Amino acid sequence: MSALKDQIGQAVDRLGDELETLSRRIHDHPELGYQEVQAAAWLSEFLERQGFKVERGLAGVETAFRGTLETGAGPTIAVLCEYDALPQIGHACGHNVIATAGVGAGAGLAALRDKLPRGRVQVIGTPAEEGGGGKCKLIAGGVFEGVDAAMMVHGFDRWLGHSDLLGIVRVGFEFTGKAAHASADPWAGVNALDAAVQTYTNVAMLRQQVRPDARIHGIITHGGAAPNIIPEFAAALFYVRARSIDYMWDLYTRVLACAEGAARAAGCELKIVEHRETSYEPMKKNAALLDAFRANLARFGVTESPEITDRLGSSDIGNVSQVIPAIQPMVKIAPDGTPIHSRAFEAAAVSPLAREGMLISAKTMAMTVCDLLADPSLVKRAQDEFRGAR
């Protein structure tokens, strides 16, 4: 098994330049969620060249795909890719690295397909992680039915086997008032922007009363047409996060009350735009999968940092972890202290450090998939832990 893993690592290294080129290509052509037409095509074409059978438009999602490599009857293990970018700041979340690490892991396994243990390897392209809930749609479409375990990695400023994720739900508010001349006849208008600003203020005051592991943040997305017109329409978008899904929904109800009170005070009509179908779940930890990943990561002399509790985000991989055993280790692709979703992180995502992290994580995932294919007891331990068996 050790010799096979060495060969898998060598196969990934041979593809290193091609993988880095692909990573830079995705990075230099950022596409928002559900618009990742180029990235999905480039990744699918790469997998096909490695011998994967690729399905496009998975579960009715145009930019989702699944590459499958069959080696016989056995477990089905999935490696997940993300490749959507952020508005204005591009790949400041390093999804170009996530994507190429995922297909790189698949390529390393495909190169040794005749020597692999029996089973099925899937590389699944999951669009729109940045708020669009691509994995939520794939779960609803049955994509993860029959998958025994899944894994992916995420870029960070350090190596972490596991990081908790907060649940998140998004909500939009649209306020409708009445336009009037802001100087000549302001009393004839109903100011929708006042309602939006008051909602923001209400939420700001609510933050003092929430638990330390919860987050509420938002923006005013529309504030009027011109200063001399009383705004007849205004809109805001808020994210509500918490480690406990029940507490998240409790806070969500309180944020709704913030908007309802503000609309009533301003005399505006309020429309609540809910996004419940793309709410994200917290991450369900799986020690069996993490231990296997860490054992393979140790082959590369990586020093893992202690788990953190004060820099937590949210992702729809949390939803996957609630339906099957899944992990998302964090990979160092940026210098220590580089904030994620920053322009510095966007630049780091195509640095030599990013290439190193991408190749190490691709090899580590491929080796972990190999362990799962070879050892049914490891798959069983992961599933027993997921189901709460002792």
pLDDT digits (tens, 9 = 90+) for 293-351: 999 999 999 999 988 877 889 999 999 999 999 999 999 999 999 999 999 999 999 99
Q: Are 130 and 313 a contacting pair, CB within 8 Å?
A: no
Extract the tokens encoding 26.
């995705």
Q: Residue 390: is its pLDDT beyond 90?
A: no
- What mean pLDDT is predicted for residues 196-209? 96
pLDDT tens digits, one per residue of 266-284: 999 999 999 998 999 999 9
pLDDT tens digits, one per residue of 51-84: 999 999 999 999 999 999 999 999 999 999 999 9
In this predicted structure, what is the pLDDT of residue 41?
A: 98
Q: Residue 168: is its pLDDT beyond 70?
A: yes
In this predicted structure, what is the pLDDT of residue 389?
A: 63
Q: Residue 90: is its pLDDT beyond 90?
A: yes
DSSP 284-349: ---HHHHHHHHHHHGGGTPPPPPP-SSS----THHHHHTTS-EE--EEE-S-TTPPTTSHHHHHHT
Extract the tokens encoding 243.
């480690």
For residue 202, give the nearest of 145, 260, 272, 241 by alpha carbon.
Answer: 260
Sign of CA dihedral 345, 347, 349, 351: negative
Q: Which domains does the chain have, with CATH numbers?
A: 2-164+283-387 (3.40.630.10), 167-278 (3.30.70.360)
pLDDT band per the 50, 70, 90 thresholds, residue 1: confident
For 279, counting Cβ atoms within 10 Å of its Cβ (0-12 exposed, 13-18 middle, 19+ buried), the class is: buried
Whole-angstrom Cα distance, residue 79 to residue 326? 10
In this predicted structure, what is the pLDDT of residue 7?
A: 97
